[in-house]
Amino acid sequence: MDQIPITKQGYAVLKKEFERLKTIERPENIKAIEVARAHGDLSENAEYHAAKERQSFLEGRIGEIGYKLGNARVIDPATVPKDTVRFACRVLVENLDSQEEMEYMIVGPDEADIKQGKISVSSPLGSALIGKKPGDEAVLQAPGGKRVYEIIDIL
């Protein structure tokens, strides 16, 4: 069983979605199936088929989140050593081609949000940064060619 690294904040967001799906969306969908079933002939009942598809999606998502929560390894960013780039740390990097500085937080795939500066540990850039120290260079192959980043600081 693989442990799934996740930040405290990411865990809370997943838990909230899990509870919403189980306590609000699942019961609403069950009612929608009952209402659609009452309309008669199920073979030509679009409402019924849509509600059943929604039920399948909900059950799949509940199972997926339940698995992730059950196997989560919650990491508090405040406890992460700042000697090398690791999961849950914030890192300041400079794109050596454009001289643009960017700050990223290395998070799990479910938490990644580039607009908030959160990149997945399994993304090409996240993977290239892991294990590096300030002053090191991270090289990655992007669709537009090779990109080189210098690690300025681990925050």
Domain boundaries, the chain: 4-75, 77-154
CATH 3.40.640.10, domain 4-75, yes or no:
no
Correct CATH for 77-154 of 3.90.650.10, 3.10.50.30, 2.40.110.10, 3.40.50.150: 3.10.50.30
**Over the stretch 63-116, which tens digit does the pLDDT of each residue have?**
999 999 999 999 999 999 999 999 999 999 999 999 999 999 999 998 999 999
The domains spanning 4-75 and 77-154 adopt the same CATH topology: no
| 1 or 16, which is more confident | 16
Longest dimension (CA), the chain: 69
For the cut 80, the answer to whether the pLDDT of residue 42 exceeds it is: no
Q: Which residue has the higher pLDDT, 151 or 2?
A: 151
The per-residue pLDDT for 69 is 96
Band (pLDDT 50/70/90 cuts) for residue 1 is low
Alpha helix locations (H) across the chain?
A: 8-20, 26-37, 46-70, 124-129
Q: ∠ CA 7-154-81 to the nearest 5 degrees? A: 60
Report helix, strand or coil for 138.
strand
